[in-house]
Structure 1
Amino acid sequence: MTTTTALGCQYRPQHHYTADRNWLNDPNGLVYANGTYHLFYQHNPSGNGWGNMSWGHATSADLLHWDEQPVAIACDDQEAIFSGSAVLDGANTSGFGTPDNPPLVAIYTSAYSPASPLSGRQAQSLAYSTDNGATWIKHAGNPVLDRGSADFRDPKVFWYDGAAGSYWVMVAVEAMDREAVLYKSADLKAWEYLSTFGPANATGGVWECPDLFELPVDGNPGNTKWVLVVNLNPGGIAGGSAGQYFLGTFDGVAFVSETTVTEGLQKDESRMAEYGWLDWGRDYYAAVSFSNAPDGRRLMIGWMNNWEYGALTPTDGWRGAMSLVREVRLAVRGGRVVPMQTALDPFESVGAGRNLGASPYSEAARPLPAGTHWIPAEASGDVLRIDAEFEPGAAGEVGLLLRASGAERTVLAYRCATGVLSLDRTASGNTDFHESFASLESVPVPLENGRLRLRIFLDRCSVEVFAQDGLATITDQVFPAESSTQVGLFADRDGGRLVSLAIVGGG
């Protein structure tokens, strides 16, 4: 959250970062250094719509409480500052700092304006900080990597140390070609081409905001996979913006996918569900991970919006929010390796000065008869964490009604015959600001021992659903009336069972 909410409206979230004022989109330059997490992001300092792209900046000690800082890297008459990454150059390979005071280095896309000699190009540039991110200096030798392209952007940089050597690796995109392009460097300033991946799987829109990292499978350091994340707009599984992933190997030169379903630019809508999707909702985009996170954790955050309607969301004085931070792991489920995502829980921040609401509400195991069972008002609210476990049994459909009042509601339902979990926001409140906002998202979710486990985070303008311990996620914005705070359980016929229910934050 931000440090002030003077310009807040009913939709200003409590647990999701928003800029105090004006437009926000892609997270950039996520890095941990000297006890501080830095979140940079695409920001318009001068207005509530996209434009004047600069890097906004927020800091946190725990990834839950955020303090907004001054704009870090500002646009000028020569360039807009597009997406990128940041690293702690601990060995001072760049020479921007000293061995005793290594610099933070931001690697960003310069989108050159008509006033620039490089007008129309997108190329990669550097800025550096020697005061822990408080101030930034653009490198005099920018750009450091220019392919003469109009759509070469979004560099994600990391240190590689393997059989091929030790060096910085950049993965960026040729957006219109749907390609991830890899380079290496010894000093962040001179770059050598390595390889290209793609097009593959979802190619119905441009590729943006890539990421590449290695993770152990089920915590075993002797068994790892590399994860290539490529965000896509439009052409996502739920429509509009989305993030996809590939699993495979990286030898320091080339990424080889083991999960490619289709190659090239052909669009086969019938195979969309076979691709790897970070999230099956409409509002999780440009997701990238933190560099240098403690204990080797892979922590990601995304822009909680969609380019189809992102400029029209009904907020006041600010526009755009970040998702909760998620930790990503790899695990074997159903005989294959898949990502598992766990949200960092703001409701565990007891004693940190937050009002977490009333004491937790819980229900023990019981039958779930046909109809709707409304949760007591003291356990309802607009900022909640809900943990629910169902045994659908003979019921045709079970689930929860969220942010409900009268006919207004967001419906989270599991249909037993198809094994599909859906989130329906067609009656969620204010949906008229764009024709595609009223929507129903769905994801196949297998039961485990006949049970469905759900963790749901409600905030004032969002629903984030984590099913089966993060095997599948759905993230959607909603804009209900302030009075729409009820929570209900439902089943369409007898035969289902509620295993457990716990709600935190109501009252």
Structure 2
Amino acid sequence: MIRNRLLILSLLAISLRGMAQDATPPTPQWRPVYHFTPDKYWTNDPNGLIYLNGKFQLYYQHNPQENKWGHMSWGHAESADLVHWKHLPVAIHEVVTRDTTVYIYSGSAVIDKNNTSGFGKNGKGPIVAIFTGDLPKQHKEAQYIAYSNDNGMSYKLYDKDPVIDLNMRDFRDPNVFWFAPKKQWIMTVSMVNEHMVRFYGSKDLKHWEKLSDFGPAGYTKNGWECPSMLPLPVNGNPANTKYVLFVSNFGEHGPQMQYFVGDFDGTKFTNLNPAEKMLRVDYGDCFYAAIAWRDAPANKKILIGWLINGKPETSPWKGQMSIPRDLSLRNTADGIRLFQNPAAIITNSLSKYAKGAVISKTNLPVSGAMKLNGASHLNANSYWIDAEIQPGKSEKSGFIVASDADGSKKIEVGYNAASKEIYVDCSTAENANKDKRNLLQTAPVNAVNGVIRLRVLVDKSSLEVFGNGGEQVISTMIYPDKDATGLSAFASGTAVFKTLKIWDMDR
């Protein structure tokens, strides 16, 4: 949960007071097709992710009254496939009384199947939401719970809230999970300005005991937010499971997330890397506050984050979510590292969501620029590219997306063989919308046997690039002109696109 208005103003170049809702014309050219956006009005952090009755439940920070930050509540949507979303009524509204206001800030939700909380009815356990209540009049944040006995459609606040209150201004974003070895709930929550994650334990979700603190570590130049922790097997081996601790904060180039790999014994998290080591989740300039579905089918851990859009304004909505990402840990030459890939539930059914693979090529030689789209296909800036490129002697190779007719404005996505980096170059197209430091974004990736794999997801105003099977990711926002829809493959010399598939997602 981002609360500091000055930070938002300087890093996102938006005003939280903004223009009136009806003063911003609709911007359908930037409304994503296969990424989640609310039907209207503001969204930021994803919250309360649970999988229930065959549906992914997504709660999210939401202003149900206007298209700017404020009146923080939990919006709600659900999906069977992580592509098509049903918008549901607001699940938890801000609380306003004569004496106080409670904004419903970020948090998590759990299915209390054994009714440890006692909130269930008729022998069925409830859903319990755990979140930060922000009390602006009291200048503090505390941890609240609410419960639902109607499958998460509505929630009732616990009458003895808050359940944890340290009388602190910046203390937020609880994420809770069941730790079976000790038969208790574990909470991670952010001690923002101390750059620490605090661990609490509870048997009933109501009474919490402090267990330990982790931090400071990694990046500490700005406050820590939105912590969460997941167990992941290394190389798919459940006998070698490590914990990944995620933290969001703002860096020199804007929003960022870092992660730590370690062990957790039910009380304390032990980092396997030196304390000063920073591991980035995403090398772009907009991915933030991500948390995961812990209980997805096949025991998948699926991460989804807020893609922060600054300027220009969008309407009638503001903010969107990333593509959901399957998470895994793998051994690398640098140690155990996080890998992320678009969720298999989506990739396994791409042809169902799209118009089919409009382009499918093997061993395609490319020299210079080769146009890929036309009047009837791939002409709406919503597509999905999967390519394996053999750069050969080409220093740069990849794709030009969202290009205008004369190529004066374009976005270049590719691999730089000289620097061994995947990159996104927005320098001719996004000068008015980005900090100059973010016009070129890069992430270190080595080709494997002379081949680099790129997944490029373009969706109207978002761009996500996955390098080498999710070894590194770059996510950013783009705002092409309505007629800037050109798509080409390119190589600075001659490269061979060993495989190339493109799906048109503008269904």
In 1, the alpha carbon distance for the partners of 2:426 and 2:351 equals 34
Match of 2:241 among 218, 221, 224: 224
Match of 2:254 in 1: 240
Q: CA deviation at 1:100?
A: 2.8
Q: 1:485 to 1:506 in 2, by over 3 A?
A: farther
Match of 1:298 in 2: 301
In 1, the alpha carbon distance for the partners of 2:283 and 2:478 equals 15
> Quick check: 1:31 aligned with 2:82?
no
Matches within 5 A, 1:144-163: 144-162=163-181
Aligned partner letter, 1:332: N
Match of 1:19 among 38, 44, 56: 38
Match of 1:89 in 2: 112
CA deviation vs aligned residue, 1:324-349 (integer Å, no higher than 9, x gap): 11110111233622111111364654
Aligned partner letter, 2:449: N
Q: 1:246 to 1:112 in 2, by over 3 A?
A: same
Q: CA deviation at 1:400?
A: 1.2
Q: CA deviation at 1:506?
A: 6.9
Given that 2:243 and 2:262 are in contact with CA atoms closer than 8 Å, whether structure 1 keeps it comes out as yes
In 1, the alpha carbon distance for the partners of 2:92 and 2:54 equals 22
Q: 1:463 to 1:51 in 2, by over 3 A?
A: same
Q: CA deviation at 1:413?
A: 2.7
Q: CA deviation at 1:252?
A: 0.4
29-38 vs 104-113, which deviates more? 29-38
Aligned partner letter, 1:500: T
> Quick check: 1:188 aligned with 2:202?
no
Q: 1:411 to 1:457 in 2, by over 3 A?
A: same
In 1, the alpha carbon distance for the partners of 2:298 and 2:364 equals 41
Q: CA deviation at 1:126?
A: 0.4
Match of 2:102 among 79, 96, 108: 79
SS of match in other structure, 2:298: helix
TM normalised by structure 2 equals 0.89
Match of 2:372 in 1: 375
Query: Cα RMSD over matched residues?
Result: 2.0
Aligned partner letter, 1:244: Q
Matches within 5 A, 1:35-434: 35-77=54-96, 78-98=101-121, 100-114=123-137, 119-162=138-181, 165-232=182-249, 234-235=250-251, 239-262=253-276, 275-305=278-308, 309=310, 312-334=311-333, 336-344=335-343, 346=346, 348-349=348-349, 356-357=354-355, 359-369=357-367, 371-377=368-374, 378-381=376-379, 382-405=381-404, 406=406, 407-428=408-429, 431-433=431-433
Q: CA deviation at 1:313?
A: 3.6
Q: CA deviation at 1:291?
A: 3.6
Q: 1:199 to 1:498 in 2, by over 3 A?
A: same
SS of match in other structure, 2:212: strand
In 2, the alpha carbon distance for the partners of 1:505 and 1:367 equals 22
Match of 1:504 in 2: 503
Given that 1:87 and 1:292 are in contact with CA atoms closer than 8 Å, whether structure 2 keeps it comes out as no
Aligned partner letter, 1:253: T
SS of match in other structure, 1:360: strand
Given that 2:424 and 2:442 are in contact with CA atoms closer than 8 Å, whether structure 1 keeps it comes out as yes
Q: 1:127 to 1:437 in 2, by over 3 A?
A: farther
CA deviation vs aligned residue, 1:441-485 (integer Å, no higher than 9, x gap): 100101111110011111011111111011111111101012222
Q: CA deviation at 1:434?
A: 5.6
In 2, the alpha carbon distance for the partners of 1:98 and 1:16 equals 36
In 1, the alpha carbon distance for the partners of 2:135 and 2:178 equals 28
Q: CA deviation at 1:391?
A: 1.2
Number of residue pairs the alignment of both structures matches: 473
Given that 2:403 and 2:410 are in contact with CA atoms closer than 8 Å, whether structure 1 keeps it comes out as yes
CA deviation vs aligned residue, 1:156-186 (integer Å, no higher than 9, x gap): 0000022xx2100000001111110000000
In 1, the alpha carbon distance for the partners of 2:464 and 2:351 equals 24
205-214 vs 408-417, which deviates more? 408-417
175-184 vs 482-491, which deviates more? 482-491
In 2, the alpha carbon distance for the partners of 1:121 and 1:506 equals 45
Q: CA deviation at 1:296?
A: 1.7
Given that 2:63 and 2:72 are in contact with CA atoms closer than 8 Å, whether structure 1 keeps it comes out as yes
Given that 1:86 and 1:291 are in contact with CA atoms closer than 8 Å, whether structure 2 keeps it comes out as no
Given that 1:314 and 1:433 are in contact with CA atoms closer than 8 Å, whether structure 2 keeps it comes out as no
Q: CA deviation at 1:415?
A: 1.6
Q: 1:179 to 1:438 in 2, by over 3 A?
A: closer
Aligned partner letter, 1:445: V
SS of match in other structure, 1:493: strand
TM normalised by structure 1 equals 0.89
In 2, the alpha carbon distance for the partners of 1:395 and 1:441 equals 20
Match of 2:20 in 1: none
In 1, the alpha carbon distance for the partners of 2:134 and 2:307 equals 24
Percent identical among aligned pairs is 37
SS of match in other structure, 1:85: strand
In 2, the alpha carbon distance for the partners of 1:435 and 1:471 equals 26
Q: 1:297 to 1:320 in 2, by over 3 A?
A: same
